[in-house]
A and B are shown apart, each in its own frame.
Chain A
Amino acid sequence: MGLTFSRETETESPGFDDEAWPLLHELIPDGPTIMGKTGQKEIEDALEALNKAAFGP
């Protein structure tokens, strides 16, 4: 018995990982997303439009 460590990734990244959210891996399943590419694009476009409305001239 006993515990072992199974290495999954080793990025050896010299930079920062601020954008990574380790718990998301547990909360949202891997693999294909539920939403199709079309739906993804519409949401991205809307969020980008909102960003422009907030921070644009």
Chain B
Amino acid sequence: MSDRPTLQDFAPVRDNLPMLVPPAALVGPDVPPAGGTAFLHAKARPSNTAKTAIIAVIDHAIPFAHPLFTTSSGHSRFASIWLMEAAATERRVDIAFGRELRGPDIHAMRAEGDPGAAYRACGLASPGRCMSMAHADSHGAAVAALAGGFLPSDDAGRQFPLLGVSLPRSAMAETSGSLAAFFIQSALVFIIARARALAREISAGSGKHKPALVVNLSLGVTAGPQDGSGPLARLLDDIGKMAFPELGGVHFVLPTGNHRQDCLRAHLKSGDRIGWNIPPADPTPNAIEIWSAPSEPVPLLKIETPSGEQLEVPLTTSGAGSIVEGNRRSIGRVVLQRRGGDAGRICQTVILHPTLPAGPDAPWSPPGLWCLRLESAGKSGCDLVIHRDDRLPGFRTQGRQSRLVDPTYARRTDDGRWPGKDDGSSMIRRDGTVSAYARGTRPIRVGAGLARPAGRISPYSGLLPDGLAGDVVAPADASPSRTGMIVPSITPAGRQRLSGTSLAAPQVARWLAGRLSAGDAVPDRGALRDMIKGRAEDGTPLLPLDRLPWQPGLSPRAEEDAPGTPPSAPLPSE
């Protein structure tokens, strides 16, 4: 366990928390201690502890008071949720900021006829401070409902106690993942700690049953080492291998990402040159990583601005420097590192300042078509990957995504479709566009597919390095012309239409928890592949759409209204 990444790796984020969470989320000296609270009310505990699996969700704006997470008696199925942005109104010894709520706390906060009461009570719908739960829609509402939502009247829900971590808005808005890693790693540690304690509570007096834990992490980044040596990928692998005395295994389910068609990845040989389109009016930095193959020498990189000025980066050992224009103005930086696991890979990160500077004295770089040329490189060439820098729905303007430009690259096939796996005709690559978080050996990687025609892979769904769509594919889009699926929103009767591998992953988490609670053994990805009989167009196992407590809009209306399917009436509000 000596090489497990620690939170010390993210000290700059930890030490600047007041920039990243609402001021009220910081635990002040006068905050009173929290009382000892059970995780679940007796009426929300599993009725059969031998057939229980814990489902955990790490996301943003999780509507913990939603009826889909409530039993028929009105008690919360959330055993514990860490609200990282909530006002710190009580102190727990292991909660560094925000607030942890347990099931009975949530029950006490809910108010009949007022679905937002619990969120306001936590300071999560507070104008001028934190409005994360004041919106109708959220990513966390969709993901949590797909992973662990059950109708209150469905007693099966009690077999799947929930854990959650609601990440701060700042971590989600900065999509490169540079800020989020600290919060996600803290969240993973929290989930393990609480799952162990919850398992002890559930099994007390009812034998020695060890519930499995399924953790859904529907978040992803583009850049980072492809060999699974990134800090979060290593942590997931490390935890997945551990044996906890209270738990019957820990399983992580992650999406492959949505960036297959975004021209963010390329492979260059020595002498190759590729364009890098930097958008105007971008208030965030743009960054690209240039990775050499293991044990190969430092590549010599030439950078060219849109106006034709050129620079050969002179770094030959680990270090950093600024790219300076003739008038002594810095327009970017280059950092050279040795990274990437035991074999060691050289990684040069080129960071260009925002094209929309924050103020008159802030550094900026010119937008337009920059060029990168590998003057020399090892015989394997280099992988280039652009950091994610986009804007999530519902978030204020953040980044604008840069992309690679290769005149020989066709963004559509001759018949007008989006292309699938690489055919080797261009420097730009679609293979290997899987999220860096999902590049370890343990997590189950989930791609998105279309409901009709069944088995077709969604065009945006990231691909593994071998060109497959993942370990399993689940439906997230109705058809090529009708993208997305209908999912619950924050408000009890609300719905939103979302798309992406973020929605495919929690369907697999839900299915996996069901199989584990039934006693099936799923020790690794291979076992999971064998358990699923359907196949997508590329041979990847295809998970059929599970029956959900709402109509997801993936099938023709006549099929969804067929006998045996849940009614289309709104969910009970309170």
CA of A13 to CA of B320, assembled, Å? 12
Answer whether residue B361 sits at the interface, using C-beta atoms and an 8 A cutoff: no
Among A12, A23, A27: residue with most chain B CB under 10 A: A23
Contact present for A5 and B311 (CB under 8 Å): yes
User: What's the Cα separation between A42 and B91 when bound, in Å?
Assistant: 11
Q: Does the CB pair A12–B318 fall under 8 Å? A: yes
Name the A residues within 8 Å of B181 (CB-CB).
Answer: 21
Instruction: Given the known inter-chain contacts A16-B339, A23-B176, please indicate yes or no for A2 contacting B323, CB distance below 8 A.
Output: no
In the complex, A44→B17 CA distance in Å?
Answer: 12
Complex-state Cα separation, A9 to B320, whole angstroms:
5
Q: Which of B7-15, B120-128, B537-545, B549-557 makes up part of the contact surface?
A: B7-15
Q: Which residues of chain B are near A22, meaning CB under 8 Å?
A: 287, 320, 333, 335, 337, 349, 351
- B311 touching A3, Cβ below 8 Å: yes
Please determine whether A6 and B318 come into contact, CB atoms closer than 8 angstroms: no
The complex places the Cα of A49 from the Cα of B189 at a distance, in Å, of 10
Say yes or no: A7 contacts B337, CB within 8 Å. Answer: no
Beyond A28-B13, A28-B16, A35-B18, is A17–B318 a contact (Cβ under 8 Å)?
yes
Contact: B333 with A46, CB < 8 Å?
Answer: no
Q: Knowing A2-B326, A15-B338, A17-B338 touch, does A43 contact B19 (C-beta < 8 A)?
A: no
User: Given the interface contacts A28-B16, A54-B196, does A3 sit within 8 Å of B351 by beta carbon?
Assistant: no
Residue of A nearest to B95 (CB): A46
Q: Which residues of B contact A55 (CB under 8 A)?
A: 1, 189, 192, 242
- State the Cβ distance, A2 to closest chain B Cβ, in Å: 5
Judge if B317 is at the interface, Cβ distance under 8 Å.
yes
Tell me the dominant secondary structure on chain B's binding face: mixed
Asked whether B325 is an interface residue with its Cβ less than 8 Å from the other chain, the reply is: yes
Find out whether the CB atom of A10 lies under 8 angstroms from the CB atom of B95.
no
Tell me the A32-49 residues at the B interface (CB within 8 Å).
33-35, 39-40, 42-44, 46-47, 49
Asked whether any CB of chain A lies closer than 8 Å to the CB of B303, the reply is yes
In the complex formed, the residue of B with least CB distance to A26 is B285
Per a CB cutoff under 8 Å, which of A12, A17, A52, A53 touches B339?
A: A17
CB distance from B95 to the nearest CB of A (A): 6
Q: How far is the CA of A49 from the CA of B91 in the complex (A)?
A: 13
A7 pairs with B321, CB closer than 8 A = yes
Q: Tell me, in angstroms, the Cα distance from A53 to B188 when the chains sit together.
A: 12
Decide: B321 and A23 in contact? CB cutoff 8 A: no
B338 surroundings in chain A (CB, below 8 A): 13, 15-17
Output the nearest chain A residue to B178 by Cβ-Cβ distance: A23
A16 to chain B, nearest CB (A): 5
Q: What is the CA–CA distance of A25 and B16 in the complex, to the nearest angstrom?
A: 12
A-B contact pairs, 25 of them (CB 8 A): A2-B309, A4-B324, A5-B313, A7-B320, A7-B321, A8-B321, A12-B318, A13-B317, A16-B337, A16-B344, A18-B231, A18-B339, A21-B9, A21-B181, A22-B287, A22-B333, A23-B176, A23-B287, A25-B351, A27-B179, A28-B13, A33-B16, A35-B18, A42-B96, A51-B189
B residues in contact (CB < 8 Å) with A: 1, 5-10, 12-19, 26-27, 92-97, 174, 176, 178-179, 181, 186, 189-190, 192-193, 196-197, 229-231, 242, 285, 287, 303, 305, 309-311, 313-315, 317-327, 330, 333-335, 337-340, 344, 349, 351, 353, 387
Given contacts A5-B313, A22-B335, 11 further A-B contacts (CB under 8 A): A10-B319, A16-B337, A21-B9, A22-B337, A22-B349, A26-B285, A42-B96, A47-B94, A50-B95, A50-B96, A53-B94
